[in-house]
Amino acid sequence: MQRVRTHRGTWCTRLRALIAVVLIAGLQACASVWQPVQGRIDSSRWSIEGPKGWMRLVAPDFEMLSRDGPYLQYIFVQERSVSQEFKHTGQRLEPDMLPHEMARVVIDNLKNDKRVKGFRLLKNKPVQVGGLSGFKLVYVNRDNHGADLKTIYYGAINGDTYFNLRYTAAQRHYYEAGLNAFEQVFQSLRLSCDP
Amino acid sequence: MMPGLRSAIMLVWLAGFGISAAVGNCRAGDGLSSLSSDQASREAIILQHSEPAYFINNMVARLWGHVQSEMPRVKVHLVQDAVADARSYPDGAIYLTTGMIAHTRNEHQLALILAHEITHYTRRHAKVVSDSALSATHRFFHLVNEAELEADREGLSLMRRSGYCPQAGVTVMTTFPDSLERLTRATGMLDPTDEIACRNGAQSDRDYTFHVAPALLADAWSAVTKGMWRQASEDIERYLSVRPDDPQAHYLNGEIAYRWRRQTDQAISSYKKAIDLDRSFVPAHSALGFIHFKAGDLKSARRFFEISLALSPHADDNDYIRSYLQLCSE
């Protein structure tokens, strides 16, 4: 008996096709979350030279670069509104803050973060960040899993935004292994006031 | 609901909050909630050998003298944290934050908090509740509520036996949000004869504030780092009411005026007061330098920066001061 194709059958077929397209698109998206770094990475107000051999994760609020995996080491780039709240302190940044004032808010936010255990500040000094007056922090801490981490944190206010560039890695082996690449990224940083 | 799923949900809830957080629930925030006793002793900033710590443990000794238990005596550890919290652990440790001290106005209120936590410990509420953690959900919450009720009731009784005033003690509950029901319940537990005991009261509120003043100053520092400005301001005001000649407190008062209230003149006045009390108090000199630098008065900024560097050549923020000083010269 010849099979009659009904209206309902057509609808089911189209639905199955739609689901298949969504799944394929989703899988494609997952596969492309981490991408190889290729040359210069540009955003509206900052750009850096990506380190060769590293992978890049692009998220709406930040970018992350890693060579050995983010649980071992990563470079974190973020630009956010100056008025955006911090999670672990009620203090806020202000556009006219001096570098030591910015650094203080960031340090207090870190100290009040329950996930950052054994926080110890090793260095806190003024530096030029992409040509702007900013600050550099170096600190160590343990994460929730007991891993010893070390971070270099650069920050500066750029008009109505706050820019920060960080390098975090497991103190044992991985910190030193990626340090050169991070220093080159920092040296290549360009900040622009124009959106 | 399937028993397995119910248990799984309970385990997730407990993992998130910690079994010890289910009792000793005087907290108004999440200061100590994620820590076990061992972790609290390692991670928290504990104000050992401080005047408030001795004062509090003397209060504990007075309360413990009226406890009918053969368990080892509790020990109270004072933690520098602006989030109000008090937590007892099965090993006899009670952690009390400076934020909780900041909520108390007299000895009776603190006695109620201590008596409440002592009751949790002596009645082994943590074990009772944790033993029920994998049983029915409604039983677990029932036991938690019962533990709190017993700690309130027996805590008031312990206060009474120790010569503290329960009527004055329960007023501490008005300082916490959403505590009207608890206050009403506790008020219902008061005894008419309490009034007589209360007339022979303990020390004055001012004396109490004097004894806990260092905790208020520590709390103010913690509150500033957390951006809890109102609490920091109240702490400093209380501190200065009993210890007006502390340059550190005047400096912190200046920080609050400048960073929160945006009152530059008041900040300058407070910094100068700190310097009047101690001419070598470096943070006040630096702060005046920063204010003048931002205002464009480079000559005044330079003067204060040079004093700071001379008084303390190795201070933490000297790199910043030198960089600003260079700009003053250009």
What's chain A's length in residues?
Answer: 195
Q: Looking at residue B129, what is its pLDDT?
A: 73
Compare all CA atoms of chain B with the CA of A118 and give the residue at the minimum distance: B43
Report ipTM (2 d.p.): 0.83
- Partner residue opposite A98 with nearest CB, options B228, B290, B319: B290
DSSP class of residue B93 equals: E
CA distance A96 to A83: 12
Q: Looking at residue B139, what is its pLDDT?
A: 76
Could A89 and B225 be called an inter-chain contact, meaning their C-beta atoms sit closer than 8 Å? yes
pLDDT in tens for each of the 195 residues of chain A? 334 444 555 667 777 767 766 666 555 555 448 999 999 999 889 999 999 999 999 998 899 999 999 999 999 999 999 999 999 999 999 999 999 999 999 999 999 998 999 999 999 999 999 999 999 999 999 988 889 999 999 999 999 999 999 999 999 999 999 999 999 999 999 999 765
pLDDT tens digits, residue range B46-86? 787 789 999 999 999 999 999 989 999 999 999 999 999 99
**Between these two residues, B165 and B22, which has the higher pLDDT value?**
B165
All residues at 6 or more sequence positions from A83 whose CB lies less than 8 Å from its CB, including other chains: A92, A93, A160
Question: Strand pairing partners for A190?
Answer: A47
Residue from B32, B33, B41, B225 whose CB has the most chain A CBs within 10 Å, to mutate: B225
Question: Which of A39-53, B135-149, B221-235 holds the top average pLDDT?
Answer: B221-235
Amino acid type, B288: L
All residues at 6 or more sequence positions from A48 whose CB lies less than 8 Å from its CB, including other chains: A40, A41, A77, A165, A185, A188, A189, A190
Tokens of B278: 């101690």
Q: Looking at residue A103, what is its pLDDT?
A: 98
pLDDT tens digits, residue range B29-50? 445 555 667 766 666 777 877 8
Residue from A93, A100, A122 whose CB has the most chain B CBs within 10 Å, to mutate: A100
Single pTM value for the model: 0.84
Is the CB of residue B210 less than 8 Å from the CB of residue B242?
A: yes
- 3-class DSSP assignment, residue B178: coil
